[in-house]
């Protein structure tokens, strides 16, 4: 009897790991992809670099400001995870939508937000994206398709499937990417929204950015399977894995494939990428839960370094061009800091506005 | 047609309101558990699947969180969903989406976006379904800025207020009462019969006592008002709040100033119920100076709803008790 | 690219269906079981029959009372699903616990409740199991290990894992069976409790009684896989299927196996049985969502008839013995009706008691 | 030791209370997100993993529904769990388990079983975490029969009330305040220092005005009381409710009768906040006849909590505003 269970468990494990393209298969697909990569224009390739640099320098700078006590609220940083956001968003199109989570800076910048307004928001000023009322965790950019960061783990998932339902009902041909962390897959809302999206065949990509921890909790200690993407099977939808979430081209290529699949009306997919956050969870974090060695190991896998090496090795860009981009990023970030601190605090009256829509 | 009315039930008024709005506006649709072929747990969507089809009368899995989240996301992006929550007690599973998301998004985004969504909740006791299926939880939502809460008490108001809720650009909690789906009244047939949100309605003018109420209790209050008039010549003014949030404070205070005597009635638990807020609002206002005596409250007892029908009935204000309190206020008995 | 997805989906589907013992394998196991069946004492076999008969006649009678307007509240019936409950509960031991749902009569009776008190509760009298305050949806029998029916779909799942945690922390060696319907698997609480139980290896059997509908909604229309038990894979735990949930011995045998596995400390399992409810969802139900032919088809698979045939065919009981049991059941039910209607209504004061524990 | 005290923070008082109870009773344990090696989102379990181990200081997945359900099931079967909800806003995902299950089970079962579980909720604003991380939602629970709600306002009370909550055989919602984890005070070291639930505490005797408050606002009210005494000789009586449900009505009414002037203060939204219930309770009681004037309320504004720290601060009653209201009540300015 227990044998029966043991056999089942073994089968189950084997399947979970191999149901989806094996490493070899993945390699083959990647190889095929390698050629298509150059299909991206140089402009686009460099722009992706710019966005990654913007994220890096923006969040580094916010972190400095936090340490100086200049940020009056809670923030979470995307440093180390730049490729995971930029690669995904580079693959979607005009009019496509995203929802994000508390660690939203990466996606927000990749969605081309105005950095000045974003910095002003984080500093809490009237010129901020949300007039200083939302802060880091609630930055949205509706006109550009960013339905917003979210302070509630899993809070954006419902919005994502609803936005996808709108696209389907209005036949817009647009799709939605729902960003969340590794820890978020244990919220009930993950289950319910995945299921609803699967039976209604909604055009949504559920994207788990696995940085291996939810605050201090290793994902491996809170799921009884190896990876989050394997849960796709429970909804009869494809599950995908991006082993190197620090490789922006890997992320891009996988998303190019998924965006097409979803846009064609095949229903949702679940995809997961592996990456790492360099800083603590939030503004303060003693970090006892992970070793310096682990952090250092991951810093060696720096997404920007990887990408610059890829671009220069393949002669898609010169180091000089990349240096210029980084310089411009740093300047833009400095400008945003200046803009923010030169901006007025919101008026007391403004606190009473914007509750209800007319 | 403009002034024509028809005798119909609350149930039919709900179906009419939703159907008219769906005919009028392509972006309006209904979703919820068993709203389709089953016609809704309380029959409040009978016939709608047949008219509007599966895409606009959407049966869902038993997933209240996904239902509410999906509705909100659809609303943010241009649709106008109506959610049949069925038993209001199940709204426990929608709290994040309603309270942390829908109510706050526009504010947090600095005034961008809007979320036109209606949550239709079958509230109250009276059908023997015990403690987990009998709650009136409006007080949870009136406490949260960014949500409108309405609770009409006649079939005509149900139509006019539901239509207004659907046309409103904000999240609206709409209370309907399990015990009153069969209650009948004349309902205007005009498809543009829309009542204003945020306005109380003086259902009966009077000079002696202001009885302030809403939703399920309106019917009993009206009956009590008529009866004390006949029996004791007491002239009751009945203030039907109809919208709880935003509250029509002016209408309440004006009536209180006129009569100087106040009784508040609702079918939710007394402690922490919405009428307590109205009482507090009166007590801190300039109407305080016009009061002839205590501000009385009549509400459901602070007990989980018992299954037994006698106990169930006893816990909610009856016409008799309402009359007793009115007479107490005017020192008639 | 989409090929890749198509292949995946195919693999996924094949796996979901065959990950768990195939039909042939199942047959083999069953064959092995057939011999062990007789290990059950005659007394036990007949007692199981008695419980099934009790459920049948009790709920038939309640349904009659409902039609006569004598039941002052909401009830849900277990007629047609007797084997699914009795087979499972026959396999657990003294001190083991269960949680149940709105359709709890079957489990409640299988857990040996006093029928008089149960009927009095449904009629709402002071002598009822809950003094008339709970009614059909809230009958519990804590002393006997029944943690209660539940009016909220999925509402018992949290209690079940919590009760299992107690057993684990107190090292009692006891286990918990969590009963729910097919529709309940789409609640977020299903996901969260399954996951928590899996990582903490809690001794709990999640048991989905699939009667093919949640009110009017076919389960096939609200999940994108074939069966609920397949979701076990998302939690790295065994998923089991009882194809004929109307065969009480099949249910018993499967549960015997699962109870042992769970009691040995291997963590939770998910199991599903197929059955059918003969009546409407609740006290009133026009039933437009299913055909008479379908209902009739299932009535032919009557669990009591199946079991009586099994018992007599295998000479484990005589028809006479079974007739006597049925007669006794009917009498017990009649007695309970009499008891109920001769019982007083609860006092008005009693409504204000029992809110807080001292 | 019996009468010894030590100056310590609210945070340390919480850790002390839980640790003492866990030493005393094997069935008490702590569960929640990041309570282990991280020591809790607010440091309220630092060191406890080391003392009690993983079995009794249980890190959970991000699954508020399962956490709360599991706690309730464990409580029903003999354990005494303490749940660290962290931000009170996340309780939205626990509503079914708390409201429909824990609060009602004993009643629905006709008086059988008990659910000794404490939900520790970090409430209120003040740390720049905006609208989804700053709510004080106690009013949701005071409205539901079967739940106790407590909100102590000093480190000593935090210890004594938390211990009482853990020893109580019912579900208890325990409010602690993000902005006050570092607030210090003398705390009794006696491991049997337990305060009674359901009793208000007169934190300052006075004759001119009753200021009724609880939780986070107590500190400000006390300061305001001292300051108006010094500046204007006004004698404020400060009634610290400490337990909101069940409410100590007698203590409130007695104080009101004594002073005839009432100010109520809390940090939750004004509309539908718990002090509204207290105001209504006063207005319907015999204490009404002792009132010299309106029953005033001071509470957080009815807006989602803004991120900007100036706006965030402005929305909650300040010492200045409390003083102004007190002086208004005694017509001093
Ligand atoms: C409903 C809810 N529960 C808990 C939290 C507190 N919290 C904020 S972020 C976080 C961890 C999230 O982990 P993950 O999803 O992996 O995202 P990451 O921070 O690693 O990017 C937690 C528990 C929250 N914001 N919302
Ligand atoms: C949270 C919640 N949502 C909805 C309901 C209404 N409801 C009661 S039973 C039911 C269907 C349950 O289906 P299933 O789990 O298959 O059990 P069955 O009735 O078929 O035995 C629904 C939707 C409820 N009681 N609780
Ligand atoms: Mg993470
Ligand atoms: Mg079913």
Distances (CA, A) of D30 to B139, B244, C2, D20, D113: 31, 40, 48, 12, 21
Task: Please tell me the predicted confidence (pLDDT) of residue D331.
Answer: 87
Which A-chain residues 186-225 have CB contacts (< 8 A) with chain B?
188-189, 192-193, 195-196, 199
Residue B268 counted as domain residue: yes
Nearest CA in chain D to B292: D289
> Nearest C-alpha to atom 6 of ligand 2 is from which residue?
C153
CA distance D141 to D121: 12
Q: Is any ligand 1 atom within 6 A of the Cβ of residue A84?
A: no
Other C-beta atoms closer than 10 Å to the C-beta of B92 total: 25
Distance CA C40, CA C57 (A): 25
Asked if B170 and A357 come within 8 Å (Cβ–Cβ), the reply is yes
Report yes or no: B101 at the A interface, CB cutoff 8 Å.
yes
3-state secondary structure of D251: helix
Could you tell me if the CB of D90 is within 6 A of ligand 1?
yes
Q: How far apart are CA B283 and CA D283, in angstroms?
A: 7
Which one, of D323, D321, D331, D312, lies nearest residue D126 by Cα?
Answer: D312
Residue C6: per-residue pLDDT: 59
Residue A231 to residue C234, Cβ atoms within 8 A: yes
Q: Does the distance separating the beta carbons of A186 and D61 come in below 8 Å? A: yes
How far apart are alpha carbons B164 and B330 in whole angstroms?
37
> In the sheet that C204-210 helps form, which strands lie side by side, from edge to edge?
C97-99, C176-181, C204-210, C269-274, C239-242
pLDDT, one tens digit per residue, over D47-75 is 999 999 999 999 999 999 999 999 999 99
**Cα of C49 from ligand 4 centre, angstroms:** 24
User: In whole angstroms, what is the distance from residue D271 CA to residue B281 CA?
Assistant: 9
Give the number of residues written for chain A: 358
| Closest C-alpha residue for ligand 2 atom 3 | C153
Q: Which chains touch D (3 or more CB pairs under 8 A)?
A: A, B, C
Handedness of CA A71, A77, A83, A88 (dihedral sign): negative
Q: Check if the beta carbon of residue B115 is closer than 8 Å to that of residue B75.
A: yes
The pLDDT value given to residue A11: 54
Is any Cβ of chain A less than 8 angstroms from the Cβ of C324? no
Chain A (208-227) residues lying within 8 Å, Cβ to Cβ, of chain C: 221-225
CA–CA distance, B282 with B296 (Å, rounded to integer): 12
Minimal C-alpha gap between B93 and chain A (Å):
10
- The count of structural domains within chain B is 2
**What residue of A is the nearest CA neighbor of D32?**
A217
Residue B79: inside a domain, yes or no? yes
Q: A206: which strand partners?
A: A178, A270
- Residue C152 CA: nearest ligand 2 atom is 26
Q: Span D77-92, mean pLDDT?
A: 98
Whether B181 and B207 share a structural domain:
no
Within 13 Å and on the Cβ side, how many CA atoms surround B128?
A: 20
Mutate to test the interface with B, among C74, C148, C217 (most CBs of B within 10 A): C217
Same domain, yes or no, for B102 and B207?
no
Instruction: Report pLDDT digits (tens) over A226-271.
Output: 999 999 999 999 999 999 999 999 999 999 999 999 999 999 999 9
Q: Is residue B177 domain-shared with residue B290, that is, in the same domain?
A: no
D145 near B303, Cβ under 8 Å? yes
Does any ligand 1 atom lie closer than 6 A to the CB of residue A106?
no
Residue D123 contacts B where some CB pair is shorter than 8 Å: no
On whether both B144 and B238 belong to a single domain, the answer is no
Q: How far apart are CA B109 and CA A149, in angstroms?
A: 10
Cis bond leading into C168, ω under 30°?
no
pLDDT over 90 (residue A320): yes
Give the residue whose CA is nearest to atom 7 of ligand 2.
Answer: C153
D196 within some domain? no
Q: In angstroms, rounded to a whole number, what is the distance separating the alpha carbons of residues C229 and C245?
A: 14
What is the domain range of residue B272? 201-329
**Residue D193 in domain:** no
Residues B159 and B276 placed together within one structural domain of the fold: no
Instruction: Note whether A238 contacts C: Cβ–Cβ < 8 A.
Output: yes
Q: What is the mean pLDDT of chain D?
A: 97
Same domain, B127 and B77: yes
Tell if the CB–CB gap between B33 and C184 is shorter than 8 Å.
no
D57 touches chain C (CB under 8 A): no
Contacts of D85 in chain A (CB under 8 A): none
Whether the CB-CB separation of D91 and D147 falls below 8 Å is answered with: no
pLDDT at A163: 99
Q: Which two tokens stand for residue A140?
A: 């949205």
Q: Would you say residue D195 lies in a domain?
A: no
**Quick check: C152 contacting D, CB < 8 Å?**
yes
Q: Domain check: are D92 and D207 in the same one?
A: no
Question: For the segment D118-176, what is each residue's pLDDT rounded down to a tens digit?
Answer: 999 999 999 999 999 999 999 999 999 999 999 999 999 999 999 999 999 999 999 99
D134, D109: one domain: yes
Rounded to an integer, the average pLDDT of D25-53 is: 98
Query: Residue C284: CB partners within 8 Å, gap ≥ 6?
Result: none
pLDDT value at residue C13: 53
Residue C283 CA to ligand 2 centre (angstroms): 14
Same domain? D32 vs D153: yes
- What is the average pLDDT score of chain B? 98
Q: Does residue D297 sit at the B interface (CB-CB below 8 Å)?
A: yes
Which CATH number is D161's domain given?
3.40.50.970
Query: Residue holding tokens 């029992």?
Result: C354
CB contact under 8 A, C348 and B310: yes
D147 conformational bin, left if phi > 0, alpha if psi -120 to 50, beta if neither: beta
Work out the pLDDT band at A150, boundaries 50, 70, 90. Answer: very high
Judged by a CB distance cut-off of 8 A, whether residue D80 touches chain C is: no
For residue C197, which phi and psi values (nearest 5 degrees)? -60, -35
* CA of residue A308 relative to chain centroid, distance: 20
CATH of the domain at B296: 3.40.50.920
Protein residues with CB under 6 Å of any ligand 2 atom: B 33, 62, 64, 90, 93; C 102-103, 151-153, 180-184, 211, 213-215, 281
Question: Hey, which bits of A108-254 come out as E strands?
Answer: 176-181, 204-210, 213-214, 217-218, 239-242
Bridge partner residues of D262 (DSSP)? D210, D295
The alpha carbon of D112 is separated from its chain's Cα centroid by a whole number of angstroms, namely 28
Give the three-class secondary structure for A244.
coil
Would you state the structure tokens that stand for residue B173, as one six-digit string?
A: 């909690």
Do B294 and D274 make contact, defined as CB atoms within 8 angstroms? no
Q: Dig out the tokens for D266 from the structure.
A: 């809390």
Chain D residues lying within 8 Å of B294, measured CB to CB = 283-286, 288-289
> What b/e string do you get for C8-47 counting C-beta neighbours within 10 Å, with b at 16 or more?
bbebbbebbeebbbeeeebeebbeebeeebeebeeeebbb
Residues D227, D141: one domain? no
Torsion angle defined by CA atoms of residues B54, B59, B65 and B68, in that order, rounded to the nearest 10 degrees: 50
C162 with D75: Cβ contact below 8 A:
yes
Q: How far apart are CA A255 and CA A89, in angstroms?
A: 8
Give the pLDDT means over successive 10-residue stretches in chain C (358 positions).
Answer: 53 50 48 57 98 98 96 96 98 98 98 98 98 98 98 98 98 98 98 98 98 98 98 98 98 98 98 97 87 97 98 97 98 98 98 98
* pLDDT at residue C141 in the model: 97
- Catalytic annotation, residues of B: 133
Rounded distance from Cα C145 to ligand 1 centre (Å): 37
Q: Are D16 and D123 found together in one domain?
A: yes
Size of interface C-D (CB pairs under 8 A): 141
Mean pLDDT across A197-223: 98
Which of these CATH numbers, 1.20.58.100, 3.40.50.970, 3.30.230.10, 3.40.50.1110, describes A42-339? 3.40.50.970
**What is the C-alpha to C-alpha distance for residues C205 and C194, in angstroms, rounded to an integer?**
10
How many angstroms does the Cα of residue C4 sit away from the middle of ligand 1? 33
Q: How far is CA C329 from the centre of its chain?
A: 20
Q: What b-and-e string marks burial along D206-222, b requiring 16 or more CB atoms within 10 Å of the CB?
A: bebbbbbbbbbbbbbbb
Q: N- to C-terminal Cα distance for chain D?
A: 48
Is A215 in contact with A281 (CB distance < 8 Å)? yes
Q: What is the pLDDT of residue A23?
A: 47
Closest ligand relative to B65 C-alpha: 2
Strands (E), chain B: 5-9, 28-32, 57-59, 80-87, 118-123, 148-150, 172-177, 184-188, 201-204, 209-213, 236-240, 243-245, 262-269, 295-300
Chain C contacts of D146, Cβ < 8 Å? 355-356
Phi, psi of D8 (to 5 degrees): -150, 165
- The finding on whether A155 has its CB within 6 A of some atom of ligand 1 is no
Q: What is the pLDDT of residues D189-242, one digit of tens each?
A: 999 999 999 999 999 999 999 999 999 999 999 999 999 999 999 999 999 999
Question: Is residue D170 in a domain?
Answer: yes
Between strands C269-274 and C204-210, the pairing is parallel
In this structure, are strands D118-123 and D243-245 parallel, antiparallel, or unpaired?
unpaired
A103 lines ligand 1 (CB under 6 A): yes
CA distance B157 to chain A (A): 22
Instruction: Give CA–CA dist C87/C48, Å, rounded.
Output: 8
**Contacts of residue D87 in chain B, CB cutoff 8 Å?**
none
Q: Do D95 and B100 touch (CB under 8 A)?
A: no
pLDDT of A35 reads: 44
Q: Do both B225 and B295 map to the same domain?
A: yes
Q: How high is the pLDDT of residue D3? A: 85
Q: What is the DSSP letter of B306?
A: P
Note whether residue B194 is domain-resident. Answer: no
| CA dihedral (B231, B234, B240, B241) positive or negative | negative
CB contact under 8 A, B63 and A192: yes
Of C188, C217, C352, the CB nearest to B59: C217
C347 chain-D contacts, CB cut-off 8 A: none
Indicate if the pLDDT at residue A29 is higher than 70.
no
Spell out the domain ranges in chain A: 42-339
Which two structure tokens, joined as six digits, stand for D215?
């939780």
Report pLDDT digits (tens) over A281-310: 998 787 899 999 999 999 999 999 999 999
Residue D207 lies in a domain: yes
Does the beta-carbon distance from A167 to B77 stay under 8 Å?
Answer: yes
Instruction: Examine the fold and report which residue of B188, B215, B232 is the final residue of a domain before the chain moves on.
Output: B188
CA nearest ligand 2 atom 12, residue: C214
Residue of A214, A219, A284 with the most ligand 1 atoms within 8 Å of its CB, for mutation: A214
Q: Counting one residue from A and one from D, how many pairs have CB atoms under 8 Å apart? A: 125
**Strands B236-240 and B209-213, how do they pair?**
parallel
pLDDT, tens digit only, all 333 positions of chain B: 568 999 999 999 999 999 999 999 999 999 999 999 999 999 999 999 999 999 999 999 999 999 999 999 999 999 999 999 999 999 999 999 999 999 999 999 999 999 999 999 999 999 999 999 999 999 999 999 999 999 999 999 999 999 999 999 999 999 999 999 999 999 999 999 999 999 999 999 999 999 999 999 999 999 999 999 999 999 999 999 999 999 999 999 999 999 999 999 999 999 999 999 999 999 999 999 999 999 999 999 999 999 999 999 999 999 999 999 999 999 876
């Amino acid at each position: 009897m227990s044998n029966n269970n043991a056999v089942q468990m073994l089968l189950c494990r084997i399947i979970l790991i191999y149901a989806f393209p094996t490493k070899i298969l993945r390699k083959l697909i990647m190889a095929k992809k390698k050629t298509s990569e150059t299909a991206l224009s140089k402009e686009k390739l460099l722009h992706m670099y710019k966005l990654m640099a913007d994220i890096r320098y923006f969040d580094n700078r916010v972190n400095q400001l936090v340490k100086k006590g200049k940020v009056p609220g809670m923030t979470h940083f995307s440093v180390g995870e730049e490729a995971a956001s930029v690669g995904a968003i580079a693959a979607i199109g005009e009019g496509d939508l995203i929802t994000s989570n508390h660690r939203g800076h990466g996606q927000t910048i990749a969605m081309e937000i105005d950095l000045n307004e974003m910095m002003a928001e984080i500093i809490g000023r009237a010129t901020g994206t949300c007039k200083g009322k939302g802060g880091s965790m609630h930055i949205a950019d509706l006109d550009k398709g960013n339905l917003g960061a979210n302070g509630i783990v899993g809070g954006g998932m419902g919005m994502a499937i609803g936005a996808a339902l709108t696209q389907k009902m209005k036949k817009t041909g647009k799709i939605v990417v729902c960003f969340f962390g590794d820890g978020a897959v244990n919220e009930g809302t993950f289950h319910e929204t995945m299921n609803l999206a699967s039976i209604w065949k909604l055009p949504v990509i559920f994207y788990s950015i696995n940085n291996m921890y939810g605050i201090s909790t290793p994902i491996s200690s809170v799921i009884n399977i190896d990876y989050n993407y394997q849960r796709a099977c429970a909804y009869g939808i494809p599950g995908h894995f991006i082993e190197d979430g620090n490789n922006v081209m890997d992320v891009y290529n996988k998303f190019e494939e998924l965006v097409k699949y979803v846009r064609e009306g095949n229903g949702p997919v679940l995809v997961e990428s592996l990456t790492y956050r360099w800083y603590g969870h939030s503004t303060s974090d003693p970090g006892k839960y992970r070793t310096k060695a682990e952090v250092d190991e991951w810093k060696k896998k720096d997404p920007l370094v990887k990408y610059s090496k890829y671009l220069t090795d393949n002669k898609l860009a010169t180091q000089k061009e990349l240096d210029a981009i980084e310089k411009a990023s740093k300047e833009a970030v400095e400008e945003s800091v200046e803009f923010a601190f030169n901006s007025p605090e919101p008026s007391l009256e403004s606190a009473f506005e914007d509750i209800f829509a007319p | 047609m403009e002034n024509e009315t028809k005798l119909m039930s609350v149930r039919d008024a709900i179906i009419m309101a939703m159907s008219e709005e769906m005919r009028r506006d392509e972006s309006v649709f209904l979703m919820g558990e068993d709203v389709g072929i089953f016609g809704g747990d309380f029959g409040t969507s009978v016939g709608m699947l047949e008219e509007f089809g599966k895409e606009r009368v959407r049966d869902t899995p038993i997933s209240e969180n996904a239902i509410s989240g999906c509705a909100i996301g659809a609303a943010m992006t241009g649709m106008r969903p109506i959610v049949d929550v069925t038993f209001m007690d199940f709204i426990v599973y929608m709290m994040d989406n309603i309270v942390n998301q829908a109510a706050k998004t526009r504010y947090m985004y600095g005034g961008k976006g809007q979320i036109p969504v209606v949550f239709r909740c079958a509230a109250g006791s009276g059908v023997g379904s015990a403690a987990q299926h009998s709650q009136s939880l409006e007080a949870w939502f009136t406490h949260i800025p960014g949500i409108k809460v309405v609770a009409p008490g006649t079939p005509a108001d149900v139509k006019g207020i539901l239509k207004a809720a659907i046309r409103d650009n904000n999240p609206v909690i709409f209370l309907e009462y399990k015990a009153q789906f069969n209650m009948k009244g004349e309902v205007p047939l005009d498809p543009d019969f829309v009542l204003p949100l945020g306005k109380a309605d003086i259902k009966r003018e009077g000079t002696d006592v202001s009885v302030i109420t809403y939703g399920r209790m309106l019917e009993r209050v009206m009956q009590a008002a008529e009866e004390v008039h006949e029996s004791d010549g007491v002239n009751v003014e009945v203030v039907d709040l109809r919208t709880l949030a935003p509250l029509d404070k002016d209408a309440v205070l004006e009536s209180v100033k006129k009569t100087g005597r106040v009784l508040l009635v609702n079918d939710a638990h007394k402690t922490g119920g919405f009428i307590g807020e109205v009482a507090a609002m009166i007590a801190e206002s300039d109407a305080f100076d016009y009061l002839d005596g205590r501000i009385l409250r009549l509400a459901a007892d602070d007990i989980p709803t018992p299954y037994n029908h006698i106990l169930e009935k006893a816990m909610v204000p009856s016409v008799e008790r309402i009359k007793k309190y009115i007479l107490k206020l005017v020192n008639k008995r």
